[in-house]
Structure formats: C-alpha cells, structure tokens
A and B are shown apart, each in its own frame.
Chain A
Amino acid sequence: MKICVLVKQVPSSDALIKLNSDSTWIKEDTVVFAINESDSFALEEALQIKEQTGEGEVVVVSLGPDRAQRAIREALAKGADRGIRIKESFPYSSDPFEIASLFAAAIKDDNFDLILSGLQSDDLGSGQTGVILGELLGMSTATLVIETELSGESIRVKRELESGWFQWVAMTLPASITIQSGINSPRYASLRGIMSAKKKEIRLIEKNDLSGSIPSLQSIEHVYLPQKTKRTEMITGSIDQVVDKLSEILKRNIKIL
C-alpha cells in the first residue's frame, strides 16, 4: 500500500494574523507555523493504515517555501517514510486547480494507491485540492471522511453529511480521500522518531520546473481585516469588575436572569 499524505504548513490556530505592507498576504515573520490541523489527522490515518496492512510506505507531499521543510520533518518524525516538497516562494499559489495540478505532476509516477489530505486548509480553506488531484489522476474520491475501512483493493469510508447525518461510501483503489478532524488521535513524535527523521529523504522539486504548462485560474489580489457589522460593547477592568458588568448585562440588557 503506497499512501501519499498532502500536508500544508499554515499559521498555528492561535497565531496573531497581521497584514503585510501592501495588503496582499499576511505578515509572516511574527507568525508561528504548524501542520494544518486536519492534515495531521490525515497523516495519522495513513500511518495507522500502513501499520494495519503491515507493508508499504507513507509519503508526505507539501507545496511551500523553505519554512515548510519543518512540517515535512515533523511528519517524518511521526513515522512517514519520505517526503517530497515542491519549493515555492512568495507570492504563493492560491488557486486550488493550479496547486492540485502541481501535485499531480510531482507524484504521477509514484502510482499511489491512496492519497489522504485534510478536508481543508486553515489558511485559504478552499477544500478543493484533494478532490481535484484525485480527479486529475483518475482516482475515486470522497470527502469529509471520519472513518476508514480498508479491505484489499477497495476502501469503505464513513462520510460526514450535514446536520448530524452520515453515510458509508465504498470505492475501489486508487482513491483520494479528504479527512475530517477528529477521525483519530494523532500521535506525538518519539525521540527515536525525531532522530531517524533526520536521515529520511526529502526530495525537492522546483515549482517552476512543473508549472510550465499549468495555468493559474484565480488569484488573491487583496486581503483585508473584516469590517465589523455589529457594534460590540467591550467589557474591561479587573475580573471582579468584568463579572459585575456581565451580571448587570444579563439582568438589565438581555433580561434573562
């Protein structure tokens, strides 16, 4: 079983996001980056499938600048066998079709049985890359998966639908599946894992070597802070003052006590 896991390095969930000087992206130098949350669940699912089948390899594939090397190294420390990074520099690709096409060009000769990715990235949140990639490579696809059952040449997955509904979907391999957060409990890297990760291969591919025939169909021209639609009354002061004001608001303004 050859499994590819798409991993994106994104600002960590509590990162303070500020705009860059020309409002085309965020100011990166003060931000702490981490593996995209749902991608870490996809990685764990891949590692568990490999352990369960007892053979094969897990390959971590990422598109990103040099800082993204750390995300791949972290995935290798958790147990992935090797990595591939498509190197890019700012301005980054933001079109999911372009990004998926880059991945397709980079991995088409690897003939993966399974591609797992997080359902969406916590930065752009398009949620398209895994599905487009699967379609480009002629694979079965499924999204928002919260359980997997592998049996031979096919896989059965439990998909999350809306409003608390679920559905099982079966398909033959190869398949590209997007993973919902919460599907498993991602492991921590062991000390031995961290040591052995240093010796594992990370193949670097220049984006420009792949992108010759790949169009970008959309681009982010401008980013800005959301305008407030509601007037928020901010409560400040010591904890006791805040508590007093909150009780007052509950009684007098919202009138629920």
Chain B
Amino acid sequence: MEILVVLEHNNQTIHRMSWEAVAAGQSLGKDLNLSTTILIMGSDVSTLAKEAATKDITEVLVAEHPLLETYTADGYARTLTQVIESEQPAYVIMGHTYMVRDFLPKVCAILKQPLFGDNISYRIENSTPIFIKQIFQGKLMAEVSPQGNQPYLVTFQSAAFQSESVHRGAGATIRNLSITLSDEIIKTRSEDPFQETTIDVDLSSADIIISVGRGIGKKENINLVKELAEVMGAQIACSRPVVDAGWLPPYHQVGSSGQTVSPKLYFALGISGAIQHLVGMKGANNVIVINKDPNAPFFEIADYGTVGNILEIVPKLTEAIKGG
C-alpha cells in the first residue's frame, strides 16, 4: 500500500478535516504516482465506510473492535500501529485535529517513524515530499525534510486542502481487518464529552465582529471595545489569552478551541494572529487589523492594517463613528 488516509469520526459523521486529508492524499498520490487507501477505526463504522467508498481511492479498510467504541489514545494508537505493520503504507495522512494530536505521537514512538505535523503544504524534490509548516506562531515558514525511512506520518492543518476537491470514484471495495486489542493496553478511561456553558453569543451568524487580543492590556480596557462595538452594531469576540486572563467569558473565543466565524468584517484589535486563532476566522470577507507590532502575522491576511496603539485609536474611532 502506498498512501493511507485515516478518517476521524464521532460514530455519526466523518470529521470535516478528514475529507481535507483525503484531498491531501489524492494530491500527493497524483504527484508521486501512488495509490490512496482510506482507513476507518471504530466499533461499528460500516455506514461511514460506505460513504468513504464513494471517493476515488483504491480501497476502504475497516478496523473494528469493541474497545474502539469510544476513543482512547491507546486504543487508536495500537490499532493504527497494527494496520501500518500489516499493510505497510509509505505515507499515513490525517488532519491535524485535537484527537490526532492526542494519539498520533504515540504511533511515532511505537514505530520509531517520523511524524510531520501541522503542515500547510508540501513540495516534491527528488521524488520525496518536503513538508512546509508554520513556526514561531506563524511568523516564519519552515521546510522539513524526512531523514529516516518510510512510513511517514503526516498531518495537515485545517484548510490546507479543500474537502470540495476530493475526487469521487466508481466505488471502492471495503475490506475488514482483524485487530487484536486487550483491556490492559488501554491505560485511560474516558468519560462522555460535554459542553461547559451554553453559548449565548452566536458569533457564527454575526455580520460584524470586533475581536480583541492580549494587546488590550487589562480587563478595564475591554469597555473601550464594547463602546466601539455598540456604535458599529458589532459582536465582540476575542483570542484565547483574553479568555485565559478572565477578561471575557470563553464563549467569545474564536479559534481552534473556540468558535468558527465568517462575518462580513472581522476587526482584530491587538491580536498577533497565531494560527490557532486564524483557523477560526479564515472565512471573513474583510479583515482590518490594528496591532503595535508591524510583524504581527495577522497583517499577512489583512485587507487593511494599521500599526498603532489600540487604546489610542479605538476611543477616537468610536467618537468619529458616533459623530457620523
């Protein structure tokens, strides 16, 4: 086997980023002239396997075991390890999701094979991919080269590939694999996932979002932003450090651990633009960024930007808009 794409699911639906991983697998397969296979792990995933079989791939592999009904890092890592050992793929591709970050490094440790994580693209050099990722919170890019033998474990960042570009096929065959798991190897016991607070701010449908970051300095200064939001008819959002500092409640947070938004205007105040934040607002039509650091990565994706002190600019902007 050549390229193995592993799908993530919650027993009902396939994770959006898994389809992006399939697109990545098909792209790499085309560039290297390799075939692509899909793997689904779980306890009863035949419906999901049928959905996967509609894509342009060689085969869908199904690894079912009762111990895989709920996700555990050990169960998933041991299962994927067995599949890699028996099927011997050259590349194992997944989305860079929280679940993958939780268990895939274990596979790297067990097999002693490299894990190229969180890539945004790749390029081919001498028939080998060089993986391209962001480092220093998006301030720099890095080209990462494999040094050991295959298989290579590879994850791609959200939106690095488009799920819409997945090619459909004539119907792939589905093959069941036999997996050996025992209770003893699963060292953790997972309880049911839950949501902490009901989200009473629906940022996902907001037209105008003013988002505030660490640069606001202290909690009292949030009021300056609230006044601007009021005159603009905007909802207030924020980056993670603002929630961590207790300046705004968690449901205002945009980013990988918060909400995903796509407003007409995303007005970012004092947010550097770490990738964990940007993945939550990539869909905005217009982006205005104010930051004191001219090298803030957020400027890279801004339509309009200004380097300056938000504490000086925001109150004057509020007054200007009020005055018409």
**Secondary structure of the B side of the interface?**
mixed
The distance in angstroms between the C-alpha atoms of A224 and B140, with both chains bound, is 6
The distance in angstroms between the C-alpha atoms of A253 and B286, with both chains bound, is 10
Q: Say whether B66 faces chain A, with CB atoms less than 8 Å apart.
A: no
Q: Say whether B306 contacts A246, CB under 8 Å.
A: yes
How many A residues touch B, CB cutoff 8 Å? 79
Chain A residues with CB under 8 A of B141: 223-226
The distance in angstroms between the C-alpha atoms of A13 and B256, with both chains bound, is 19
Tell whether A162 pairs with B144 under 8 Å between CB atoms, given A122-B136, A123-B135, A182-B244.
Answer: no
Chain B residues with CB under 8 A of A230: 300-303
Q: Say whether B144 contacts A243, CB under 8 Å.
A: no
Interface size class, chain B: 35 or more
Q: Say whether B106 contacts A135, CB under 8 Å.
A: yes
Q: Say whether A223 contacts B135, CB under 8 Å.
A: yes
Contact of A135 among B101, B105, B259, B288 (CB under 8 A): B105
Which candidate, B29-37, B159-167, B194-202, is the interface stretch facing chain A? B194-202
The distance in angstroms between the C-alpha atoms of A167 and B195, with both chains bound, is 9
Tell whether A221 pairs with B321 under 8 Å between CB atoms, given A100-B109, A182-B244, A230-B303.
Answer: no
Distance to closest chain A CB from B86 (angstroms): 20
A146-183 interface code vs B (CB 8 A; 1 in, 0 out): 00000000000001111111111111100000001110
Which candidate, A52-60, A107-115, A188-196, A234-242, is the interface stretch facing chain B? A234-242
The distance in angstroms between the C-alpha atoms of A146 and B286, with both chains bound, is 33
The distance in angstroms between the C-alpha atoms of A225 and B139, with both chains bound, is 7
**Secondary structure of the A side of the interface?**
mixed
Q: Say whether B175 faces chain A, with CB atoms less than 8 Å apart.
A: no
Distance to closest chain B CB from A133 (angstroms): 8
Q: Say whether A160 contacts B189, CB under 8 Å.
A: no
Tell whether A233 pairs with B258 under 8 Å between CB atoms, given A122-B137, A132-B106.
Answer: no
Q: Say whether B297 faces chain A, with CB atoms less than 8 Å apart.
A: yes
Q: Which of A97-124 contact B (CB under 8 A)?
A: 97, 100, 122-124
Chain A residues with CB under 8 A of B301: 229-230
The distance in angstroms between the C-alpha atoms of A201 and B230, with both chains bound, is 56
Which candidate, B18-26, B41-49, B52-60, B308-316, is the interface stretch facing chain A? B308-316
Closest-by-CB residue of B relative to A159 is B102
Q: Say whether A218 contacts B114, CB under 8 Å.
A: yes
Tell whether A182 pairs with B243 under 8 Å between CB atoms, given A254-B264, A256-B208.
Answer: yes
Q: Say whether A140 faces chain B, with CB atoms less than 8 Å apart.
A: yes
Closest-by-CB residue of B relative to A228 is B300
Chain B residues with CB under 8 A of A253: 286, 304
Closest-by-CB residue of A relative to B315 is A243
Distance to closest chain B CB from A186 (angstroms): 11
Tell whether A135 pairs with B109 under 8 Å between CB atoms, given A181-B240, A220-B142.
Answer: yes
Closest-by-CB residue of A relative to B214 is A13
Closest-by-CB residue of A relative to B97 is A162
Q: Say whether A240 contacts B188, CB under 8 Å.
A: no
Chain B residues with CB under 8 A of A122: 136-137
B residues bordering A, Cβ < 8 Å? Answer: 73, 77, 97-99, 101-102, 105-106, 108-110, 112-118, 130, 134-148, 187-197, 199, 207-208, 214, 232, 240-241, 243-244, 250-251, 256-260, 264-265, 272, 286, 288, 293, 295, 297, 299-308, 312-313, 316-317, 320-321
A residues bordering B, Cβ < 8 Å? Answer: 11, 13-14, 16-17, 19, 26, 94-97, 100, 122-128, 131-132, 135-136, 139-144, 159-172, 180-182, 215-226, 228-230, 232-236, 239-240, 242-244, 246-247, 249-250, 253-254, 256-257
The 8 closest A-B pairs by CB, nearest first: A182-B244, A217-B114, A135-B109, A131-B105, A140-B187, A128-B105, A235-B306, A217-B148
12 A-B contacts (beta carbon < 8 Å): A16-B295, A97-B115, A127-B117, A131-B105, A132-B109, A135-B105, A140-B188, A162-B97, A170-B189, A219-B147, A222-B143, A257-B321
